[in-house]
Amino acid sequence: MNNQLVLIDYIVFGLYFVILASYGYYIYAKNKAAAGASTQDFFLAEGSLTWWAIGASLIASNISAEQFIGMSGDGFFVGIAVAVYEWGASIALIIIAVWFIPIYLKNKIFTMPQFLKTRYNETVALIMGIFWLFLYVFVNLTSILYLGSVAINSLVGGEYLHVIMIVLAIMGLLITLGGMKVIGYTDVLQVAVLIIGGLATSYLALTKVSETFHLDSSAITGFKMLIKDAPDHFKLMLHKPVVGVDSQDYMNKYLILPGICMYFAGQWVLALNYWGCNQYITQRALGADLQTARSGILFAAFLKLMMPLIVMLPGIAAYVIYKNGGLEGFNGVKDTAYSSVLAFLPSGLKGLSVAALTAAIVASIAGKLNSISTIFTLDIYKKYLNTNAPEIKQVWIGRLTMLVAMFLAIVFTWKDLLGIGGEGGFTFIQKYTGFISPGVFALFLLGMFWKRTTGTAAVAGLLTGFLLSIFFNSYVVSIFGTETLLYTAFPNGKGGYDIPFLINMGWAFVFTVIVMIVLSLAGPKVNPKAFEFDKSMFKVKPVHIVMIVSIILILTALYAKFW
């Protein structure tokens, strides 16, 4: 098994970098006047991104090292059930396109703190603005940079971690400093490389499966052998474990993906909060008109349907090959499953796959930096530090913010000060974002659709969601035991008991909503800051109905096949 790149791989990768940099500079030079003077253009590319650029940018910003490494790892460990994060996102994007985006655009919302200030008060907006900055820098940006560097380093000899880290940071900055328009259009190129390289990796992995069983070199034969040899890896719904009957290994899988139970609340809290209440994601659509934004978001939903083929299937292939003795030297650690599959690729194609992984990482770094810059510049610097700052100065403050954020990310990932490698990148991100997701989503959901929700309830909701998340994750089992009407806790293999985190998230959200409703009932029947909207805002054009129905039919077929 050869995990090293050769000259042709470096040439392919270098060609990708040159094309990306040249195209990015072309977009920047073409729009230099606007990008240098207008905050709306620099931060939002207002009115200039097409629907396909918005959709591609959403995917490019979302898919990164944690998906390639983390989801392939969970594919190796659990199987197709992990596809819920991708296929569930398709439904979440439909909801965002139909109901969330019209409210944002109608009320001229450009940042998530602005939404909270407009709907509630400045206190809520400032608290969350600062919190989002810390989350984006010290959780998201650091984990993307660290995981990406580790993954690529393993493919080039294992001795260049810090060099790769700096190169990825520079590539991300080069794209980001040109503004949102450069990010949006270079993301189209990034997604093309990501999809082509990712599908090529999956195709070669399936042919390797077929060859492992001494069959032909057909990807279709390989896929059939995956299903035949690992039927447990092709079940979307895991049954509830029975302690003493099911293995610890199976209970660990259920703790990650708790079958049908995760669909009651937790999965939707996670997906809708990420896709609909996240500056990093929604920023792509906030500068467009409603129909363009909807088309772009629904295009992203279509792309999401195919993402498991790219980020999950290689992990299942690695499991089957490993189980049948075909991965010599592989240690069985799930987070190294994807890089082990890349070792089977021929020269040149391996370079393309590394380019696909790099494209995902760089696009995510650029998107995250732009969001950090937007929140700091528009919601903190312009409002509290220099209210009279001209637009050109705001743009330069935005660029300086990007440089500072990237420097901090490098400092904290240089020796993995946050312990990302120990926890696993996907787990690291889910763990820390999961603590705030219930409260934040409750704020946005009630703030959009219930006119009675008050600012007091919003502050209480933030605190309640955070405290309940900690309580359910760390203390509830020791107080109430392992079996209640609300949950079942299972042995975690470390001497204790855990509740599946998606169930914890669901209950934290439910109780947070109850607290906010009770407090809001003490206020006026219509809060003066409630958004005004009418039914016409949510009317969907026939072309969008066709897209929505198509997505739902495809998902229905997938769930019927692999239930």
| Long-range contacts of residues 10-14, Cβ cutoff 8 Å, at least 24 apart | 10/351, 11/351, 12/348, 12/351, 12/352, 12/355, 13/351, 13/354, 13/355, 13/358
Confidence (pLDDT) at 461: 93
Q: Residue 329 pLDDT > 70, yes or no? A: no
Chain segment 342-370, per-residue pLDDT in tens: 777 777 777 777 777 787 788 788 878 88
Chain segment 453-473, per-residue pLDDT in tens: 999 999 999 899 989 988 988
Supply 313's token pair. 């299937």
Confidence (pLDDT) at 34: 47
Q: How far apart are CA 386 and CA 404, in angstroms?
A: 19
Strands (E), 298-408: none
Q: How far apart are CA 436 and CA 442, in angstroms?
A: 10
Crossing angle of helices 161-176 and 349-374, in 10° steps, is 60
Chain segment 101-135, per-residue pLDDT in tens: 999 888 888 888 888 889 998 888 888 888 888 88
Crossing angle of helices 425-434 and 142-155, in 10° steps, is 170
227 class by beta-carbon count within 10 Å (0-12 exposed, 13-18 middle, 19+ buried): middle
DSSP 318-330: HHHHHHTT--TT-
Average pLDDT, whole number, for the chain? Answer: 83
Residue 127 three-state SS: helix
More confident residue, 187 or 242: 242
Question: Averaged over 280-309, what is the pLDDT?
Answer: 86
Supply 549's token pair. 């129905």
Task: Report residue 47's pLDDT band, with 50, 70 and 90 as the boundaries.
Answer: low
Going by C-alpha positions, the residue among 279, 284, 281 that lies closest to residue 376 is: 279
Query: Do 420 and 145 form a contact (C-beta atoms < 8 A)?
Result: no
Compute how many other C-beta atoms are within 10 angstroms of the C-beta atom of residue 211.
17
| Beta bridge partner(s), residue 483 | 488
Burial per residue of 310-323, b for 16 or more beta-carbon CB atoms within 10 angstroms, e otherwise: bbbbbbbbbbbbbe
Q: How far apart are CA 538 and CA 97, in angstroms?
A: 9
Q: Residue 30 pLDDT > 50, yes or no? A: yes
Confidence (pLDDT) at 474: 85
Spatial neighbors of 188 by CB under 8 A, at least 6 apart, are 52, 53, 56, 57
Q: How far apart are CA 141 and CA 148, in angstroms?
A: 11
Q: How far apart are CA 238 and CA 533, in angstroms?
A: 41
CA distances to 187, 261, 354, 355 from 10, rounded to whole Å, are: 22, 46, 9, 10
Angle at the Cα of 172 (from 169 to 173), degrees rounded to 5?
85
Question: Averaged over 180-184, what is the pLDDT?
Answer: 69
Confidence (pLDDT) at 518: 96
Query: Do 27 and 185 form a contact (C-beta atoms < 8 A)?
Result: yes
Length of the chain counted residue by residue: 563
Q: How far apart are CA 112 and CA 132, in angstroms?
A: 9
Residue 497 three-state SS: strand
Question: Which residue's entry shows tokens 């596809």?
Answer: 83
Confidence (pLDDT) at 446: 95
Question: Of all residues in the chain, what percent carry a pLDDT higher than 70?
Answer: 91
Chain segment 63-107, per-residue pLDDT in tens: 776 777 778 888 888 888 888 889 999 999 999 999 999 998 888
Spatial neighbors of 391 by CB under 8 A, at least 6 apart, are 37, 38, 39
Q: Residue 186 pLDDT > 80, yes or no? A: no
Supply 519's token pair. 């407090």
Confidence (pLDDT) at 297: 94
Confidence (pLDDT) at 305: 92
Confidence (pLDDT) at 557: 94
CATH pick for 7-416 out of 2.40.30.260, 3.40.640.10, 1.10.486.10, 1.20.1730.10: 1.20.1730.10
Q: Where in the chain is the domain with CATH 1.20.1730.10?
A: 7-416
Q: Residue 35 pLDDT > 50, yes or no? A: no
Supply 77's token pair. 């460990």
Q: How far apart are CA 55 and CA 448, in angstroms?
A: 24
Question: Averaged over 359-384, what is the pLDDT?
Answer: 84
Question: Of all residues in the chain, what percent carry a pLDDT higher than 90?
Answer: 20
Q: How far apart are CA 207 and CA 200, in angstroms?
A: 11
Chain segment 209-234, per-residue pLDDT in tens: 888 888 887 888 888 888 998 898 89
Query: Do 93 and 298 form a contact (C-beta atoms < 8 A)?
Result: yes
Angle at the Cα of 173 (from 45 to 297), degrees rounded to 5?
40
Chain segment 483-500, per-residue pLDDT in tens: 998 988 998 888 888 888
Spatial neighbors of 290 by CB under 8 A, at least 6 apart, are 101, 102, 105, 537
Q: Residue 46 pLDDT > 60, yes or no? A: no
Question: Averaged over 185-199, what is the pLDDT?
Answer: 77
Compute how many other C-beta atoms are within 10 angstroms of the C-beta atom of residue 233.
20
More confident residue, 66 or 541: 541
More confident residue, 429 or 269: 269
